[in-house]
Structure 1
């Protein structure tokens, strides 16, 4: 059942949209600001309820009947898209409405005007589309949108308005998912220039630089050839570790009473970084000591967030599991940098109904699979036994063996709860192996 608050906000927004039909373009702007302010204050559930297919279709109708000019419609939609993507709200409302087809057509038509093209309108259309869509982007749109948004991001003006435009352009680019292929020549030199200029002049906001990294790391799925440049020329690991160190010191701070229940900027930024690192661990193949240092940074964030920021703790464990699956990361790295100990601590603290318990077991399942693969690859048996012994000793330090073995009931419960996500092996030895 929907909350009364959500219904009231929804009625207010539809009332404002209805009022706009009789207003001039200039008179519409304060009402658009009022709607945008309402979206700024929404949590995930409120956003999901209010930003509906019905709302998208209403805006589409107002554009079609010229009851809202395109500039105002884009002002409204771009802000909603910014909020959606900044907080990583999942929403299929835009996709299933009539708006995507209209905006796709407008982008192509504006681009085909060539010399008569309105570049600002083209950029605004591209940003709206990329911020709101939850789907693959066609190659026709990639060819148009990506170069123009990169041009916006290449601007080096330092005034506040220019910085905001740059941040929105990079956020829109970061929403191009990892499964959408972009030819290297269409983005790499430009994004490299943006990164290197920032490293020299510190011209980007913390959010903007993170969005740029997210866009770039997403490309590793199709194009691993740039991994060396990302690691060495652009110093991704060093920059990301430094950010995690700073953020881990802030995340444990208690919120003011009026901020409870809301995500702080630190939490938002940290969640975006963790999502980026998850993809990095999943697809990177290079091995170096800086890369391993990521594990220590993630452990620090996990421990800092454990008491009050359970969603961040969960994302840390999820990311460490991706590291455990990556053959470029040695199991010894996970032990030495404290990952095994930290995840086990989290498992013991988590309640039966806590998804962190489920993710912790998936982490140990991944570790166990790697150890078995070592055996299949004819790894020296003594070395494999030594790794197993070290892991078991860590487990005994954090909690006695009988506590570890008592998790069988948890496995049954968690498998029933998360049946559609992943089925955990029921054999305890698949997680906790003695030498």
Structure 2
């Protein structure tokens, strides 16, 4: 108990030190030359990088953007220098999964909008870099924007993203532009077909030349999926020309190899969202989120999902001991896939069935895991119940059902069924009204 109190005291002290350091640098910006201001902001950004979520929120509750705006208004700092701080804050928020909207409600946000329009109107090459920085900052930190503004911001950043030089400086510029575009979420933008051709070119060029960073490539896909996946015609292009399933499988597998899953986090720091994570893990989590959306939309696909399921299962198993949250986040895409896709055979080939059976047979099984396992098998059962009109497909369906039953029997089917003979208190009333208490009703019987 004494050790825990001392640890908490140290954490509070460290938070106070970081807050004081940040505040001192912020208030010291006014009387400096531009090079000194830039150095101070770079130091502030370094402090931000070393913060956990609680420390970050503590600093930004004071709304340092007000101070930045005041310094700009008094012409004590240029916008080109000032933008370095909010730009980095936006990057931090995305990479640390922090939902903090102080910038959106700040008066600096309105000023930023006006400056984007002003810079765009100049149409001068020397101001192009300023416009790019302003556009990136606006998307990274905004959860709302006008269609008029997006008509400037999106083509500006796509122009940067289309750069094909492979030197480190250009790669970083492309990465930031695509990351900003990926942070838009689902928005209605003008000239969608034009933008589709551009983002398609970016993805296809990378598939041939491997010129993007892993974060940039994932961001390109996220922008594409968010903006265009509701369109059935473009969805076909995503799957059959751009090969989304194949690419996602390869990226997740390669990223997983870059992580030492056996290395535990610092014992002094709990393995939570606040703990510092490797960049590869963050990108894996971004793929996991995107796959959930993909399978949520997916009805019947081209039967190439087994490798993708295999990659997810690989991450799930590797991360289970030391990075439980990443392991858990593999479940949602698998659950949606079991509900939506027609190719249950791919779940068998990709060892998704084995992975879920492993979960069921763990010595400790909490309600959330039980619910996931139950729904996973119930969804598969529901899909395999539907008889096919086509004779060839019907033969395949029955064969898959037999394989499923054999798998369950080999892995201890009877014991698993018995473990579910209890009231499922974790289901809400809506579920309890129509679900049978006997799990046998939902399993495959040939």
TM-score by length of 1: 0.84
Quote the residue 2:325 is aligned against. Answer: 311
Deviates more, 1:71-80 or 1:386-395: 386-395
- Asked if structure 2 preserves the Cα contact closer than 8 Å seen for 1:52 and 1:94, the reply is no
Quote the residue 2:358 is aligned against.
345
- Partners of 1:401 and 1:376 in 2: how far apart? 29
Q: How does 1:97-116 map to 2 (within 5 A)?
A: 97-114=106-123
Q: Given that residues 132 and 157 in structure 2 are in contact (C-alpha distance below 8 angstroms), is that contact kept between their aligned partners in structure 1?
A: yes
CA distance in 2 between partners of 1:353 and 1:61 (Å): 52
Per the alignment, residue 4 of structure 2 pairs with none
**Residues of 1 paired with 2:168 and 2:210: CA distance?**
14
Q: Is the 8 A contact 1:150 1:169 kept in 2?
A: yes
1-structure distance, mates of 2:176, 2:418: 50
CA distance in structure 1 between the aligned counterparts of 2:173 and 2:364, rounded to whole angstroms: 44
Is 2:343 the partner of 1:330?
yes
| Pairs within 5 Å for 1:158-169 | 158-169=166-177
Compared with structure 1, are the counterparts of its residues 154 and 434 closer, same or farther at alpha carbon in structure 2 (3 Å cutoff)? closer
For the 8 Å contact 1:174–1:211, the answer to whether it is kept is: yes
Structure 2: where are the runs of 5+ without partners?
Answer: 1-7
Q: What's the counterpart of residue 172 of structure 1?
A: 180
2:363 and 2:381 mapped to 1: Cα distance?
21
What secondary structure sits across from 1:349 in the alignment?
coil
1:120-159 to structure 2, matched below 5 A, reads: 120-133=129-142, 135-159=143-167
TM-superposed CA distance for 1:168, in Å, is 0.3
Tell me the secondary structure at the aligned position of residue 211 of structure 2. Answer: coil
- Farther-moved stretch of structure 1 (61-70 vs 12-21): 61-70
Return closer, same or farther for 1:406/1:253 CA change in 2, 3 Å cut-off.
closer
**Per-residue displacement from partner, 1:106-136 (whole Å, max 9, x unpaired)?**
2223223345882222111110111112x24
- Equivalent residue number for residue 283 of structure 1: 297
In the other structure, the counterpart of 2:230 is: 222
> CA offsets per residue over residues 368-407 of structure 1, 9 Å max, x none?
55456x3799999999887667556544544564555445
> 8 Å contact 2:384–2:444 — kept in the other structure?
no
Structure 2 distance, partners of 1:350, 1:37, is 43
The equivalent of 2:18 in structure 1 is 9
Residue in 1 that maps onto 2:78: 69
Query: Shift of the alpha carbon at 1:152?
Result: 0.6
Output the TM-score relative to the length of structure 2: 0.82
Q: Which 10-residue stretch deviates more, 270-279 or 227-236?
A: 227-236
Q: Gapped runs of 5+ residues in structure 1? A: none
Between the aligned partners of 1:62 and 1:149, the Cα distance in structure 2 is 28
Does residue 367 of structure 1 match 2:380? yes
What SS is found at the alignment partner of 1:187? helix
Deviation (angstroms), 1:320: 0.9
Size of the alignment, in residue pairs?
427
Corresponding residue for 1:246? Answer: 254
Q: Provide the C-alpha distance between the structure 2 equivalents of 1:85 and 1:159, rounded to a whole number of angstroms.
A: 24
Answer yes or no: is 1:19 the counterpart of 2:28.
yes
- In the other structure, the counterpart of 1:96 is 105
Q: Which moved more, 1:381-390 or 1:34-43?
A: 381-390
State yes or no: 1:267 paired with 2:275. no
Asked if residue 28 in structure 1 is aligned to residue 37 in structure 2, the reply is yes
